[in-house]
Structure 1
């Protein structure tokens, strides 16, 4: 066991500080992502569970929107004397009349999608390589990364359209319901197209034979449009967080149009959205070795969640602020300072924990290339980290922030989105939907990761848990 623990990456040459170790461990095994590791069992409640989620999550999104739009951001409930049936009819009427997927909404959603795709194909960027896979002659797939350029070029174009009068950003808030409905429908349509294409081309992997479950989890591993546009990278990095960022930007303009100024709370909201979008964009190349990109299939779960679920449910702090007079939710300077410090502190740990984890994966694979992107925070990369070299050829990072908590990045992520909600005060539950949902999601995700890692690493995972005993909070849990 001693030979399996606390290995160190070879020391960097002082002659070239920008060149990272590119040697692979001599016993490194090439994992086949087309193979189900461990004993198969249905996740998310199996076919019934995933079918329920595909039906009820869009309904939940429309319900939350109706609560924001017609019930002053309070959870919609039947009025006194109103029957449940009458209440449901009223909600359905609101959705049909005010969230109908109009041509304008289709143009906004698909114009944004196509614009981002063009950016992906044309803007400057860097090439990097994913983890080695048997299907590619034991080499990693090539990935083109330019999300950081796309984010700021898109911002310039959006501001130019707004100030020229061609397209007011406030339209995004005014037509939110319509746009959300198009995103929901598009999530289903794209999921069907990707699934059918994989079946026609014979690129489906790890199928169970249950159509509902396979559609939810996905059929293909690495779907692409042409040799360059990787759909998984495109959906995970750009669509959810860019959309959330532009929703916050639009809310700033909407508030200014109505009140003549932008409140501290709205600026806090925009800062949080920008930090998140910028973090995903500037570290785009670092997520390539992640479980989602390398092993998770591309199906309804990832497609719908990224194009519709994330941006149109995580934004209710923005919607709450933009729908109320700023004078009604002013807080003390002390409270504002606390919330801001919480945001910036959580962001620091969010950025550096993810940076350490993903840079380590690329250090091991020999593909790490440091980039001069803003902000380049201290302790973003651990030099010569301790790690456990596993019998199956894998490695487990036991250094940096992860020696204190194995899921430190989840804790930082939760605190970050909690600050978004606290920024809105206590006038509504809607801003707290994101941290509440995220809290239970990460508990489930952590358990899911635990089971997969226990199967994959065996006794090395037991040793890893001894070295890094805490999951979320050092000394607590």
Structure 2
């Protein structure tokens, strides 16, 4: 096949095209900063007094001193050192090499599977540091929050620009959705499908290591901040957030090969959308609940603790069992004897089990877990519920993208399948 045939020009847009891509490119960093300044001690609360926000905002953005305060050299050094640690761990820690799905050019990308080992190493070093030097020594994420956000944004922009520029080299396999010819759109959505340096796959590395593991380390730092303020103890609500989110990350890293069949890896290019999502959004937005509890502790008591725990466990069960059904079926196994629909192309689509209740039951489990992560913060502020609200919007958008791709792939068979499984995410509701 010719290069033009393998990498056809993209004809359609997502996210409302270049204007939408530009808006999101600017809005994601702005929202990340806003969630800090709108929910922190330094700004006066969560949220700060509403009548003060316009005045303080105008004063801040018109001040050169405020803009300079977004940069913290020490935080940047720590962040870039952390990223370097993850790269070195990928290189030196043992791991199996696993092939991904077949690419359009007939090849298969190989991925080194050792994210969980990296996670355990990082946790072990962190625990040793805290035991040796005390909780006070690990509160620097709380103290230098804005500087860490800025450093991660810089890394996101540099990587996205670098991958965009490298995608114009010969023999690059481009993402079908990222070859429009519009710089801002292709920069945002990702032009090259699998940018890599030798055997180092940039996209899968960022997806599971620097940001995801950092999310847990930030939560630990927030717990240390709370412990210092409370004389060495942390609240039941902080314990729940730590346990829920650490387990979620550990589960994802332990099941690292499962990521190789996701849309991020098989379909999307690596651009600013994924780089800023992996490196900035995940660690610094998803840790909002722990950061809130660091300066405003909440005691739930045994009853509410059990309720919140039940919501999370239910969500995890649905998420894991649904994914288990899908992965078994894709690998030629069907231990539950699930029913399925055979398309004209020979593809098989599950129509029973969790996948008979909705077309994306794993998303439903994810949403329940997202809600459980916010419930420990109580109901004094809606800001700590930003994550489940945002996550619902994200998953609905992803579901619609997936449905559009499936309609293109299966044609009329997809409409027949939707009649068999009418609900998109939440059974009997949506």
Q: TM-score, normalised by structure 2?
A: 0.90
Distance 1:431 1:99, change over 3 A: farther
Residue number among 189, 193, 199 corresponding to 2:162 in the alignment: 193
Residue number among 414, 424, 428 corresponding to 2:367 in the alignment: 414
Alignment check: 8 A CA contact 1:342 1:419 kept = yes
Alignment check: 8 A CA contact 1:131 1:140 kept = yes
Which sections of structure 1, spanning at least 5 residues, go unmatched? 1-31, 369-380
What is the Cα deviation at residue 312 of structure 1? 1.1
Which residue of 1 is the match for residue 207 of structure 2?
236
Which residue of 2 is the match for residue 157 of structure 1?
125
Query: Are 2:245 and 1:273 equivalent residues in the alignment?
Result: yes
Which residue of 2 is the match for residue 402 of structure 1?
355
State the secondary structure of the residue aligned to 1:190.
helix
Distance 1:355 1:247, change over 3 A: farther
Which residue of 1 is the match for residue 258 of structure 2?
286
Query: What is the distance in 1 between the residues matched to 2:62 and 2:315?
Result: 39
State the secondary structure of the residue aligned to 1:144.
strand
Which residue of 2 is the match for residue 74 of structure 1?
46
Shift >4 Å, 4+ stretches = 32-36, 91-95, 381-385
What is the Cα deviation at residue 62 of structure 1? 1.1
Q: TM-score, normalised by structure 1?
A: 0.81
Q: Could you list the per-position Cα deviations for residues 101-134 of structure 1 after superposition, in whole angstroms to 9, with x for gaps in the alignment? A: 2221112211111111111122122222211224
Q: Number of paired residues?
A: 420
Which sections of structure 2, spanning at least 5 residues, go unmatched? none
What is the Cα deviation at residue 300 of structure 1? 0.8
Q: Return the structure number with greater helix share.
A: 2
Alignment check: 8 A CA contact 1:63 1:76 kept = no
Distance 1:131 1:110, change over 3 A: same
Which residue of 2 is the match for residue 45 of structure 1?
16
What is the Cα deviation at residue 427 of structure 1? 1.5
Query: What is the distance in 2 between the residues matched to 1:95 and 1:466?
Result: 59
Residue number among 375, 378, 383 corresponding to 1:425 in the alignment: 378
Which residue of 2 is the match for residue 255 of structure 1?
226
- How well do the aligned residues superpose, as a CA RMSD in angstroms? 2.6
What is the Cα deviation at residue 383 of structure 1? 5.3
Which residue of 2 is the match for residue 389 of structure 1?
342
Q: Could you list the per-position Cα deviations for residues 336-363 of structure 1 after superposition, in whole angstroms to 9, with x for gaps in the alignment? A: 21011111221222222233324433x1
Residue number among 283, 301, 305 corresponding to 1:311 in the alignment: 283
Query: What is the distance in 1 between the residues matched to 2:158 and 2:91?
Result: 23
Residue number among 115, 132, 135 corresponding to 2:85 in the alignment: 115
Alignment check: 8 A CA contact 2:212 2:283 kept = yes
Alignment check: 8 A CA contact 2:159 2:275 kept = yes
